Structure 1
Amino acid sequence: MTPLSARHRRTTLAIATAVAAGALLATGLTGGVAAAQATASPSGTAAQPLTATPVALSTAARSSLVKDAQAAAPETARQIGLGNQEKLLVKDVVQDADGTVHTRYERTYAGLPVLGGDLIVHEKAGKAESVTRATKATIKVASLTPQIAASKAEKQAVTAAKAAGSAQTSADSAPRKVIWAGDGTPVLAYETVVGGLQDDGTPNELHVITDAATGKKLHEYQGIETGTGTGKTLYSGTVTLGTNLSGSTYQLYDTTRGGHKTYNLARGTSGTGTLFTNTTNVFGTGTASSSSTDQTAAADAAYGAQATWDFYKNTFGRNGIKNNGVGAYSRVHYGSSYVNAFWSDSCFCMTYGDGSGNTHPLTSLDVAGHEMSHGVTAATANLTYSGESGGLNEATSDIFGTGVEFATNNASDPGDYLIGEKININGNGTPLRYMDKPSKDGASADYWSSTVGNKDVHYSSGVANHFFYLLAEGSGAKTINGVSYNSPTYNGSTVTGIGRAKALQIWYKALTTYMTSTTNYKGARTATLSAASALYGSTSTEYNAVAAAWTAVNVN
């Protein structure tokens, strides 16, 4: 759970995600690699289509691959050495241009979910070439009979939630039996989810894992990961929006991007809300309003959703957050003066507060891209939202949120390596985070250390944000789109960037084909080197740049 001090400092907008949540979209089987089409940065040019880049799969093609993989799952489990009580459940399938298929599986043991047991099988020409595992431990427990009552686990979880400031006094549902394989020796455990609200009004989905034999708390993580026609938006100027005409009424309903809809919670904190409609095909006024029916925030939210969808489609060939062609939905006017935004996988939706005085909605472009990218992470690596994996989860959203901003190329909000610079959450015009030198925010880590995983995930993310900036743009002083940067290195080295387009391709491929739920910073180095090798070759400039950028942030 996010520390209170950290949440207070970021005024709650730890621009985040949701229990298995947080990200944005894209579209399908149109043939291939759009990755290299992202706007080239000053330090590099867009790459040409490569054989290891993912192809864009239609919904039907992806469904067919998933169905085939699930049918073959028992044989796959046998081939990779799983035990008789273990089964594989297909979560996602990625196919590269050269025919390589990367199938991501969740695992069960004796019918129980194995948390931290996810794995990816990399297959070419019908033959498994390698397996990436979240844990190398053998999944086996002596007994499936708990030694403690479920009520003890539930009490422990509620106590943990209260200690973190939750207003909830009971679990959302009865604790479920699981196998915990997130670290150490796998054990029988209970997973309890506590709902309600966090101390700042953000919905709560605190997952607490309790050893079913000893009653010891093994792990906890927050499931809600936060952050931050014609649309007359507050942050992006006048833009074109996807709308739908129903009778004589225009709806803020984008039928071309998976059916994304934008709803009004009108200060509520639950439910779907009311779909925004208008008698004309114009939404918003371009100025902030404290009204709970204001359509300007809705226009920004709808624009952010479509920009994120287009970014994933055009850059990676990804067909929506889950790569299945289905759009999420957005909710605005959440609560009163709520200074945050969040993605939740449980509703598959994006939610925005209106900020201080209900006149500073957290609906800027990079916030939308950040939050909805949490959903992409949840649908792929599902990086656990605590410790170093949580920092990587947050950094992934910052990286892709930045990618959305650059790719959209909006004159009112040009691309930069600053996070949340438009929403003025600090009240003094400064951004929420800086990717070139994360410590400029006063709390984020520039470099890895053995204690970085103890930081709030929005601050431990600095290591990966710094890595990405160095990989894309390089070290030292430079000006990009009118913003001055000066990125240092841990070892005093000079890093030469390979360009944002290539850096994005490497991070996306690492996330979708080589990272697992338990990946830490050392594992991220390995995953991105594997991605760079697959895309550009193990002796390439790009591969060497990845290694140099990680070393420059003290990840070796």
Structure 2
Amino acid sequence: MTPHISRFTKKRSTLAIATAVAAGALLTAGMTTGASAQPAADATPSGAPMKLSGAARAGLLQDADAKKAETAKELKLGSKEKLVVRDVVKDRDGATHTRYERTYDGLPVLGGDLVVHESKAGKSEGVTRATSKRISVTTASASLKAAPEGARKVVWAASGTPRLAYEKVVTGTQKDGTPRKLHVVTDAATGKKIFQWDAIHTGAGESQYSGSVTVGSTKSGSSYALTDAERGGHSTYDLKHGSSGKGTLFTDADDKWGDGTTNDAATAAVDAAYGAQVTWDYYKDVQGRSGINGDGKGAYSRVHYGNAYVNAFWDDSCFCMTYGDGEGDKKPLTSIDVAGHEMSHGVTAATAGLIYSGESGGLNEATSDIFGTAVEFHANNAKDVGDYLIGEKIDINGDGTPLRYMDKPSKDGASLDNWKSGAGNVDVHYSSGIANHFFYLLSEGSGKKEINGVSYDSPTADGQPAAGIGRDKAEKIWFKALTSYFTTNTDYAGARKGTLSATTDLYGADSAEYKAVDRAWAAVNVK
């Protein structure tokens, strides 16, 4: 629907990953050590997404676009409705999952997205819809309230009966310095507010958090630029404590970057570039996705945003990551899991587009925590080993504790361990705990255990044990659900349905994995 900006924000006496304006902010590799409950990865299932080159993906999108009118007829859409191709996933067995947005009488339909599933032979295998309600509205302006200045006319279908509305983006700056891009939707007939969400989501060199690492650079004349040609041309820029513009591209005469401390401005750049590198590698190696948009193009990163800015955020509108330097400009928010979290907001925006409010907002945040964690494990960095703690390196609370815990989310004092009525009214950084807890239980199971030197003790809502299937499988199930079955307004019940569908594709409806997914949701009270 719209871009997101995610960020970290202070919550009561602690910090939480805050909402975003048009991006995604989190909070915020070598050899892992210690015991691990992680089994060896199985061969890639035939229902897993195929690795597509940019050209191959473009070809599939063109094919879908060429037959979108025919698809609309097959879906029995009204004569005023048209489909707009947004994304496509092709499985290893040849099945495709094509994501569309919708227009009605030329107006964008917010919450009208759908995913068409087809077999290798082109046979329909069902449709996942954000809404099943019929759209029938009057778009003539005669009966409408005066449009808010700068607003666009839309059809609102994400909740309730589809109706004509106006969407306005209100920009500004929040108290902590994070940009704001607030999307406000009002009823066109009454002028009353229907919904709103913030689109900014908040959460060879010497790095501060990951030790000596190799980062991609490109020789330019007699010097080097911090541009990674092997990963879509990702570049890292210095804002020099400014809060606007792209900044200055980092360059160096001898291709040696940073000194591992905040005394050298390039140190934060090393961490940012490394974070982008390991995130790119994770999605490519594990999920078969080339870049955040799946098109092989790299984003860019900006470091040294503002003064003592305790946050980081992803912004879809610039397709870029931005990092603050933390309290006293001494703790940049550039750790691996923060980078993975924030850039995963971009992946969510490019696929399911989960609205950053209510239960879908909690799922959006949890998706970034899940893949930020997955990136950290995959990076296999000895200085920042994989764990189920979020933001443990950046000391955002000032007492050495992490921002969030996946095994028992309520340990942070605010997050939900389990689903309850009204979960959609809880801040998305805390309602995300439900899915984070589900992912941990699905990966590792309940009860006490130690993994890579960290002790965990995960409870269940009903007091009954839950067995894990391993993080490798859990990651693939969540990614498959995100890209093939989640829509803009998916809630926790829908996430359960989507992950079960994804598990059926990957492992079969009678598999042990399917039963484990079903049990893990029950263990967090989603039934």
TM-score (norm 1): 0.90
Task: Describe the SS at the equivalent of 2:137.
Answer: coil
> Which position in structure 1 is the counterpart of 2:236?
262
Contact 2:23 2:202 in 1 (8 A): no
CA distance in 2, matches of 1:267, 1:476: 45
Q: Which amino acid aligns with 1:71?
A: A
- Counterpart residue type for residue 327 of structure 2: S
Quote the Cα distance in structure 1 between the aligned partners of 2:271 and 2:232.
Answer: 18
In 1, distance between residues paired with 2:50 and 2:36?
A: 24
The counterpart of 1:358, out of the listed 312, 329, 335, is 329
Amino acid at match of 1:140: S
Quickly say closer, same or farther: Cα 1:245–1:278, change in 2 above 3 A: same
* Aligned: 1:127 with 2:130: no
Cα distance in 2, alignment partners of residues 147 and 450 from structure 1:
35
Q: Match for residue 271 of structure 1?
A: 245
Give 3-state SS (helix, strand or coil) of 2:172's partner: coil
Query: Aligned partner of 2:17: which letter?
Result: A
Give the Cα separation in 1 of the matches to 2:309 and 2:24: 20
Can you give the 5+ residue segments of structure 2 that lack an aligned partner in the other structure? Answer: 27-34
Q: Provide the residue aligned with 2:281 in structure 1.
A: 310
Code of the residue aligned with 2:466 in structure 1: it is V
What is residue 240 of structure 1 aligned with on the other side?
A: 214
| Structure number with higher strand proportion | 2
1:281 to 255, 263, 267: 255
Residues 6 and 329 (structure 1), Cα distance of their counterparts in 2 relative to 1, 3 Å cut: closer
Pick aligned residue for 1:59 from 16, 29, 54: 54
Q: What is aligned with 2:32?
A: none
1:9 partnered with 2:12: yes
SS of 1:528's partner is: helix
What displacement does 1:10 show?
7.2
Equivalent residue letter for 2:186: T
Which residue number corresponds to residue 30 of structure 2?
none
User: SS at 1:439's partner residue?
Assistant: helix
SS in 2 for 1:116: strand
Aligned length: 513
Task: Report SS of the residue matched to 1:256.
Answer: helix
Instruction: Report the alpha carbon displacement of residue 22 of structure 1 after superposing the two structures with TM.
Output: 6.5
- Counterpart amino acid of residue 135 in structure 1: T
2:496 counterpart letter in structure 1: R
* Selected match of 1:140 from 112, 136, 139: 136
Cα deviation 1:441-470 (Å, max 9, x = unaligned): 000000000111111110000000000000
State the 1:47 CA deviation.
2.1
CA distance in 1, matches of 2:360, 2:509: 25
| Deviation of 1:513 (Å) | 0.0
Tell me the distance in 2 between the aligned counterparts of 1:329 and 1:144. 42
Structure 1 Cα separation of the partners of residues 17 and 46 of structure 2: 37
Deviations 1:313-372 (A, max 9, x none): 000110100000000000000011100000000000000000111111000000000000
Instruction: Identify the residue that residue 182 of structure 2 maps to in structure 1.
Output: 206
Question: Does the C-alpha gap of structure 1 residues 13 and 463 become closer, same or farther in structure 2, counting only changes over 3 Å?
Answer: closer
1:431 Cα deviation after fit: 0.1
Check whether the contact 1:16–1:374 (CA below 8 A) recurs between aligned residues.
no
CA distance in 2, matches of 1:218, 1:5: 26
Match of 2:67 in 1: 72
1:465-487 Cα deviation digits (max 9, x unpaired): 00000000000000000000000
CA apart distance, 1:139: 1.4
**Aligned amino acid, residue 108 of structure 2:** P
1: CA distance, partners of 2:337 / 2:210? 11
Secondary structure of the 1:444 match is coil
Shift of 1:529: 0.4
Q: Tell me which residue corresponds to 2:509.
A: 538
Structure 2 residue 383 is the aligned partner of structure 1 residue 412: yes
Whether 1:520 aligns to 2:503 is: no
* Contact 1:20-1:375 within 8 A present in 2 as well: yes
Does the C-alpha gap of structure 1 residues 15 and 215 become closer, same or farther in structure 2, counting only changes over 3 Å?
closer
CA distance in 1 between counterparts of 2:13 and 2:91 reads 39
Decide whether the 8 Å contact of 2:15 with 2:397 is kept in 1.
no
Residue by residue over 1:132-158, the C-alpha shift from the partner in whole angstroms, topping out at 9 and shown as x without a partner, is 00001111103432521123xx5xxxx
Q: Residues 86, 78 of structure 1: CA spacing in aligned structure 2 closer, same or farther, 3 A cutoff? A: same
Summarize the Cα distance change of 1:20–1:138 in structure 2 as closer, same or farther, 3 Å threshold: farther
Equivalent position SS for 1:194: strand
For residue 180 of structure 2, give the secondary structure of its aligned residue in structure 1: coil
Deviations 1:196-246 (A, max 9, x none): 11121100000000000011110000100101xx11000000001110111
2:105 corresponds in structure 1 to 110
- Whole-angstrom distance in 2 between the partners of 1:10 and 1:105: 42
What SS is found at the alignment partner of 1:14? strand
Cα pair 1:41 1:499 within 8 Å, conserved: no
Counterpart code for 2:144: Q
CA distance in 1 between partners of 2:488 and 2:40 (Å): 32
- Between the aligned partners of 2:328 and 2:158, the Cα distance in structure 1 is 42
- Answering whether residue 314 of structure 2 is matched by residue 343 of structure 1, we say yes
Residues 480-522 of structure 1 show CA distances to partners (whole Å, capped at 9, x for unaligned) of 0000000000001111100000000000000000000000000
Q: Indicate the residue corresponding to 2:151 in structure 1.
A: 175
Out of 419, 424, 429, the position equivalent to 1:453 is: 424
- Counterparts in 2 of 1:77 and 1:87: CA distance versus 1, 3 Å: same
Q: Secondary structure at the match of 2:17?
A: coil
Alignment partners' CA distance in 2, 1:487 and 1:137: 40
Does the CA contact (< 8 Å) of 1:16 and 1:343 recur in 2?
A: no
Q: Deviations over 1:22-53 (max 9, x none)?
A: 79xxxxxxxxxxxxxxxx95243312121100
Identity %: 63
Code of the residue aligned with 1:481 in structure 2: it is: N
**Per the alignment, in what secondary structure is the counterpart of residue 323 of structure 1?**
coil
Q: Identify the match of residue 187 of structure 1 among 138, 145, 163.
A: 163
Look up the match of 1:170.
none
Question: Which 4+ residue blocks in structure 1 deviate beyond 4 angstroms?
Answer: 10-13, 15-18, 20-23
8 Å contact kept, 2:110–2:156 = yes
Secondary structure of residue in 2 paired with 1:200: coil
Using the alignment, how far apart are the partners of 1:513 and 1:447 within structure 2?
A: 25
Q: Tell me, what secondary structure is at the counterpart of 2:365?
A: helix
Structure 2 contact 111–157 (Cα < 8 Å) conserved: yes
Q: In the alignment, what sits opposite 1:169?
A: none
Tell whether the 8 Å contact from 1:22 to 1:373 is kept in structure 2 after alignment: no
Pairwise CA distance, 1:20:
5.6
Q: Give 3-state SS (helix, strand or coil) of 2:230's partner.
A: coil
The whole-number CA distance in structure 2 between the counterparts of 1:6 and 1:197 is: 13
CA contact (8 A) 1:444 1:460 kept: yes
**How far, CA to CA, are the matches of 1:144 and 1:373 in structure 2?**
39
User: What's the CA shift string for 1:129-188, capped at 9, x where partnerless?
Assistant: 21000001111103432521123xx5xxxxxxxxxxxxxxxxxxx100000001010000
1:16, distance to aligned residue in structure 2 (A): 6.0
Quick one: which of 146, 161, 170 aligns to 1:149? Answer: 146
- The one-letter amino acid of 1:402's match is T
CA contact (8 A) 1:243 1:254 kept: yes
1:98 aligns with 2:101: no
Contact 1:338 1:353 in 2 (8 A): yes
CA RMSD of aligned residues (A): 1.8
